[in-house]
Amino acid sequence: MAESPYIIPLDETNFVEVVVEGSANVPVLVDFWADWCGPCKTLMPILEKLAIEYDGRFILAKLDTEQHQGIAQQLGIRSLPTIKLFKDGQLVDEFMGALPEAEVRSFIDKHVEAAGEAEAPIDSSVEQAMQLFENGDAAGARELLQKAQAEDPANGQILLALGQVCIATGDLETAKSCVSALPEEEKDSTAGRRLAGMLELAGESDNDKDAGHWQAELAKDANNSEARYHCAIHSAMAGEVESAMDQLLVLLQKDPEYNDGAARKKLLNLFDVLGDDPLAGQYRRKMFALLH
C-alpha cells in the first residue's frame, strides 16, 4: 500500500472513527477488497494514486474483506471490488468493479471540493450584526440583518446569522423561516445543520414546565422516560450539552423506543449542533456501541 496519511487500513477498532466520524470532515472512500481478487489489484493503485493527488480532499479507507468479514457482511458486500463513499456518516454513493481512472476521478469529483476552493468571505453586514449581538444589542443586530436580508434574500450568511439571533431572542417562527429559505448547499453545511439543530432544541424546550419540574419527576422515578428526555433538552438549552447527551444515552439504553426513538434522533441533533467539537466524535462512538 502506498505511504500516505490519506490512505488508512480499516478494521473493527477504527471503522467508526475513520468512516462514521471522519466523513463529517471530508468524504471517505471505502475500498472493499481481497487479496485473491484480480480486479481489486487493478483498481487499488488507481485509488491510491488519486488519494495522494487529491491531497486530503478525501480519505481512502481500505478494508480487507477476508480479514474482516463481519464488517463486510454488515454492509452487504457481495462482490469485489466494491467502493462506497461516505459523507457526514452516511453512505451517499458507490460503485462496483474496476473502473478506468477517468471514471473513478469523475466519481470522486462529484463529492469533493475543488482544489484551492476558498470559503466565502464573511458578509460585512453579518460581521457588524454579530458584533452588536455579542455586545448584547440583539435588537440592533436583528434590525441590521433584516435590512440586509431584504436587499439580498438568498444570502445564506445573512439567513444563518438572522436565524441565530432570532433563536436567542425567542422568535422561533422567524428562525424557522430563515432555515427554510437557506439555499440547499447552505442547509447541508455544518452551519446550516447547527442552526436547524438549535431551532429544534428551542422548539422542544418551549413548554410550561421548567427544568426543576422534570428533575423532580426524574428523582421520584428514575425510569420516567419523559422526565429524563426533558431534563436532557433543558440541559442542552442551558449549554450543558455533555450532560444532555449522557441523559440521552441512558434513555437510549433503558427505553430505546420512547417517542419513536427520540433519544437517538436528539443525539444526532446534538451532534449537528456540536459540529467539529471532539465531543461529537466521542458520543457518536458511545451511541454506536449501544446500538450495535
Summarize pLDDT for 138-184 with one digit per residue, the tens. 999 999 999 999 999 999 999 999 998 998 888 999 999 999 999 88
Among the listed residues 37, 166, 178, 231, the single catalytic one is 37
Rounded distance between C-alpha atoms, residue 9 and residue 33, angstroms: 11
166 carries an active-site annotation? no
- Calculate mean pLDDT across residues 201-224: 85
For residue 27, say if its preceding peptide bond is cis, omega within 30 degrees of 0.
no
Kindly list the structural domains of the chain, giving each domain's residue range(s) and its CATH number in brackets, ordered by start.
7-109 (3.40.30.10), 124-205 (1.25.40.10), 211-281 (1.25.40.10)
| Range in 84-88, 99-103, 153-157, 281-285 the model is least confident about | 281-285
Q: What is the pLDDT of residue 1?
A: 55
| Choice among 40, 166, 178, 231 that is catalytic | 40
Per-residue pLDDT of 96-137, as tens digits, reads: 999 999 999 999 998 887 554 445 565 788 989 999 988 889
Higher local confidence (pLDDT), 104 or 192:
104
Residue 246: its H or E element = helix 241-254
Active site residue 40: yes
Q: Which residues pair with 63 in a beta bridge?
A: 32
pTM value?
0.54
Q: Measure the CA–CA gap between 100 and 45, rounded to whole angstroms.
A: 11
**Helix or strand holding residue 16 (H, E):** none
